[in-house]
Structure 1
Amino acid sequence: MTSILKYLNRALLVLLLAAFAACSDNEGGNESNGNGDDGNTETPADGDTYGYIKDTNGNSVEGVVVSDGYSCTATDAEGRYALTRNADAGFVFYSLPSAYKVSVDKTYKLPRFFARLQAGTARYDFTLEALAAPEKRFDLICIGDPQINEASHAVRFKEEAGREIREYAASAGVPCYGITLGDHVNNKWTLFTNMVVALQPEQTGVPVFATIGNHDHEFPTADEKAARAKYESYFGPVDYSFNRGDVHVVSMDNVIHSCKASADYEGGFTAAQYAWLKQDLSFVPKDKMVILCVHIPFRGGWGTNSAHADADKYYDEVLDLLSQYEYAAIMSAHTHSNINYIHRKNGKEIFEHVTGTTCGAWWRSTVCTEGTPIGFGLYRIDGNRMEEWAYRSVRHDEQFQIRLYRASDTFVGGAKYRFKQTGADQIVANIWNWDPSWTVNVYENDVLSGQMTRNSDIDAWTVAYHIGLLNNTDSYRKSSDHMFHYTLKNPAAAVRVEAIDRFGNKYEQTVFTDPAEHPGDFHADF
Structure 2
Amino acid sequence: MRALIASFLLLLTTPAFAAPPESCSGVVFEDRNGDGMRNPGERGLPGIRLHDGAQLLVTGADGAYTAALVEGETLFVIKPAGFRFRARGDGLPDFWRNTRIGEGPALKYGGIPVQAPQCRDFALVPDARTRTDGLDVLVFTDPQVKSSVDVGYYERDIVDSVLGTPLQQAALGISLGDIAHDDLSLYPALNRATARMGVPWLHVAGNHDLDFDATRDEDSLLTFRNSYGPDTFAWEEAEAVFIGLDDVVYRPGTTPAYIGGLRADQFAFLEQYLPTVPRDRLLVIGVHIPFFDAAPGRETFRHADRERLFALLRDFPHVLLLSGHSHAQRHVFHDASTGWHGAKPLHEYNVGAACGSFWSGVKDADGIPDATMADGTPNGFATLHVAPDRGYALAWHPARDVDAQIALHAPRVLRHGAWPGNGVYANVFMGRSETRVEYRIDEGEWKPMQRTEQADPRVLAENLRDDEAGNLRGYDRLPEAAPSPHLWRGTLPTNLAPGEHRVSVRAFAVTPGWPYDETSTTYRLVDAEP
Asked whether the two chains share a fold, i.e. TM above 0.5, the reply is: yes
Query: Cα 1:217–1:506, aligned 2, differ >3 Å: closer, same or farther?
Result: closer
Q: How far 1:125 sits from its partner (Å)?
A: 1.8
Query: Cα 1:66–1:135, aligned 2, differ >3 Å: closer, same or farther?
Result: farther
Give a deviation string over 1:375-403, Cα, whole Å, max 9, x none. 111111123513422111112142x2111
Q: How far 1:424 sits from its partner (Å)?
A: 4.3
Name the residue aligned to 2:140.
143
1:501 to 493, 509, 518: 509
Q: How far 1:209 sits from its partner (Å)?
A: 1.1
Inter-partner Cα distance in structure 2 for 1:146 and 1:99: 30
Name the residue aligned to 2:485.
481
1:390 to 383, 389, 395: 395
Name the residue aligned to 1:48.
23
Give a deviation string over 1:461-487, Cα, whole Å, max 9, x none. 214425750787996432221111122
Q: What percent of counterpart residues are identical?
A: 21
Q: Which sections of structure 1, spanning at least 5 residues, go unmatched?
A: 1-33, 35-42, 411-421, 515-526
Query: Cα 1:397–1:51, aligned 2, differ >3 Å: closer, same or farther?
Result: closer
Pairing 1:170-209 to 2, within 5 Å after superposition: 171-172=166-167, 175-200=170-195, 202=196, 204-209=197-202
Name the residue aligned to 2:280.
287
Q: How far 1:153 sits from its partner (Å)?
A: 0.8
Number of aligned residue pairs: 451
Name the residue aligned to 1:322.
313
Structure 2 SS opposite 1:159? helix
Query: Cα 1:448–1:491, aligned 2, differ >3 Å: closer, same or farther?
Result: same
Inter-partner Cα distance in structure 2 for 1:115 and 1:335: 31
Residue type of the alignment partner of 1:391: W
Q: How far 1:310 sits from its partner (Å)?
A: 2.4
Q: How far 1:435 sits from its partner (Å)?
A: 2.4
1:154 aligns with 2:129: no
Residue type of the alignment partner of 1:159: R
Inter-partner Cα distance in structure 2 for 1:488 and 1:140: 39
Q: How far 1:151 sits from its partner (Å)?
A: 0.3
Q: How far 1:111 sits from its partner (Å)?
A: 1.6
1:92 to 67, 75, 78: 75
Q: How far 1:81 sits from its partner (Å)?
A: 2.1
- Backbone CA RMSD of aligned residues: 3.0
The normalised TM-score by structure 2 is: 0.78
Name the residue aligned to 2:61.
77
Inter-partner Cα distance in structure 1 for 2:420 and 2:142: 36
Name the residue aligned to 1:25.
none
Pairing 1:412-491 to 2, within 5 Å after superposition: 424-466=421-463, 469=466, 476-490=480-494
Name the residue aligned to 1:265.
258
Query: Cα 1:295–1:187, aligned 2, differ >3 Å: closer, same or farther?
Result: same
Name the residue aligned to 2:5.
none
Residue type of the alignment partner of 2:321: I
Name the residue aligned to 2:331.
340
Pairing 1:23-34 to 2, within 5 Å after superposition: none
Name the residue aligned to 1:101.
84
Q: How far 1:279 sits from its partner (Å)?
A: 1.5
1:211·1:251 contact (CA, 8 Å) conserved in 2? Answer: yes
Give a deviation string over 1:122-162, Cα, whole Å, max 9, x none. 43321211111454622111001000011011111111110
Structure 1 SS opposite 2:445? strand
Query: Cα 1:235–1:176, aligned 2, differ >3 Å: closer, same or farther?
Result: same
1:223·1:259 contact (CA, 8 Å) conserved in 2? Answer: yes
Structure 2 SS opposite 1:324? coil
2:357·2:478 contact (CA, 8 Å) conserved in 1? Answer: no
Name the residue aligned to 1:309.
301
1:339·1:354 contact (CA, 8 Å) conserved in 2? Answer: yes
Q: Which sections of structure 2, spanning at least 5 residues, go unmatched?
A: 1-14, 32-40, 102-115, 336-340, 362-369, 525-530
Q: How far 1:305 sits from its partner (Å)?
A: 4.7
Query: Cα 1:74–1:463, aligned 2, differ >3 Å: closer, same or farther?
Result: farther
The normalised TM-score by structure 1 is: 0.78
1:301·1:310 contact (CA, 8 Å) conserved in 2? Answer: no
Inter-partner Cα distance in structure 2 for 1:467 and 1:150: 28
Q: Look at both structures and tell me which one has the larger radius of gyration over its CA atoms.
A: 2
Inter-partner Cα distance in structure 2 for 1:426 and 1:276: 52
